[in-house]
Amino acid sequence: MGRANEGQRSAKQIHPRVAVDAVLFTLTQGALRTLLVKIKKGGFAGRWAFPGGLVQLDESLDAAAQRELYEKTGVQDLYLEQLYTFGSATRDPSARTVSVAYFALIPPHAQTPHLGEKYADIAWFPVHDLPELAYDHNAIAEYALQRLQSKLGYANIVYSLLPQEFTVAELQRVYEIILDRQLDRRNFRRKIISSGLLKPLLKTRRGAHRPAQLYTFSQRQPMQLDVL
């Protein structure tokens, strides 16, 4: 953007706008995926981005992020955490906009997106194979993935990505997919069982080998614990 355009923009806009952008993660087909929308109008038309929008005068930042995600997925009960504030003066060429980024987690059974009229398309993308995104959303994607990977080591937020019933092997696989590395099976099982995070069920799941014990989470709310 040239200096003349910058002057025109500053003459019309005295203060920055405040927006929220939401990085929504889920697990499908053995991969960690995130929800992207295709921009319909403006300088970034045809480019993919994270769902988001301006914060309304009568709502908090968290409420704005929850609203945007509900409009795109219909899901209200999800894990949501504020990430970082992105405020580069050049991040949005159409207007001076400060964005507060969030990341959220939902299980696979709740991941049907709603397109609506705001965007041209909506789809799930593997986090390790994202296109060139609009604005500074590639930086937001990297920051969100790093936060998620880091958080797995000291919090139980993985409950938001799993169904009600699962095996320890399935739980371990979720950790491995997100961290993009293998974990020692015996050590993981010992630590996860001793953590009190899981509640055994009077059920098993038959597979190629002997039946596997099914578990559920003892509670589905954020708490700190040492798993890795």
- pLDDT digits over 3-40, tens only? 334 444 445 778 899 999 999 999 999 999 999 999 99
Residues facing 204 on adjacent strands: 213
d(CA 37, CA 211): 41
Q: For the chain, which domains are there?
A: 3-151 (3.90.79.10), 157-217 (1.10.10.10)
d(CA 77, CA 82): 16
Quick one: pLDDT at residue 132?
97
Quick one: pLDDT at residue 10?
46
Quick one: pLDDT at residue 3?
31
Comparing CA positions, the residue from 155, 166, 156, 172 lying closest to residue 216 is: 166
31 residue type, one letter: A
Is residue 224 within 8 A of residue 155, CB to CB? The reply is yes
- pLDDT digits over 213-227, tens only? 999 999 888 888 887
Residues of the chain with pLDDT below 70 are 1-11, 111, 207-208
212 residue type, one letter: A
From the centroid of its chain, how far is CA 113? 13
First to last CA, the chain: 47
32 CB-side CA count, 13 A? 24
